[in-house]
Amino acid sequence: MTAPVSTPASSPDSAAREAAGVRLEVEGELAVVTLCHPKRRNAQSPAMWRALAAIGRELPGTVRVVLLRAEGVSFSAGLDRAMFSPEGIPGEPNFLALAAASDQELDAAIAGYQEGFTWWRRPDLITIAAVQGHAVGAGFQLALACDLRVCAEDAQFSMRETSLGLVPDLTGTKPLTDLVGYARALEICATGRWVGAAEAASTGLANLVVAGEELDAAARDLAAALLAAPRDAVIETKALLQGAGDRSYEEQRAAERAAQARRLRDLAGIGD
């Protein structure tokens, strides 16, 4: 079988996205998002977050699976430390400016940053993070934003915000707690310690750990397996699992029945 052609996104903003450290390629039903500032270990900035948010808005409706990967030795070293300096990042508010903003302005700024992290769990997509090397702070949270994580053996996660006097605010606290439980999540965040690939696998943080040279292939194999199932069945299943934690046993049973009724009628050609 001929492999699908990898097509770079062709919007006028693609050059600006790459300058911000993000590249998008669409291969049929698979989209590949690459963090592409390897010399800076894919340090993150508000410009990168805006680029990620734009990708979420612009993905073709035909895309079913999104693979998030990174060039270089590290997935992401976290927030660009220039944000902490008086000079900051050109064109962006530094932390002193953010702190001096009104409550409404500060809340809006953080909400805007979060938009780069929220769309990865959309019900119509399955997202996979392929993680190698360090995934620190914002990098850890970006990996957590995805549904699934495939890790290289050298992957190291750390939530460093608390040690800087901050909190993780890029949507990472909910998925981390769901994956590893409250007590372990608190310990990981409060200490900022490293979580290696073996621990990530044993606690459910990582779905799969492979040798570094096998990371891309393993992530693509997982994407292919996800794409092999009928799209509507995957969407219904994801919705069932995402809502399970907030439902009682009886409510989940009812949700299963309703979802299956929709699938049976759709397969029979008598759906709405």
Domain ranges of the chain: 7-228, 232-267
Alpha helices in 69-196 (DSSP H): 95-100, 103-118, 138-145, 173-180, 182-191
7-228 classified as CATH 3.90.226.10: yes
Task: Work out the average pLDDT over 127-154.
Answer: 98
pLDDT score at 200 = 98
Q: 161: which residues sit within 8 A by CB, 6+ positions away? A: 137, 167, 168, 169, 189, 192
Task: Work out the average pLDDT over 28-56.
Answer: 97
Q: How confident is the model at residue 11 (pLDDT cuts 50, 70, 90)?
A: low
Q: How confident is the model at residue 83 (pLDDT cuts 50, 70, 90)?
A: confident
Looking at every residue in the chain, the average pLDDT score rounds to: 93
CA atoms within 13 A on the CB side of 205: 31
* Exposure string for 83-112, b = 16+ CB within 10 A, e = fewer: beeeebeeeebeeeebeeeeeeeeeebeee
pLDDT at 17 over 70: yes
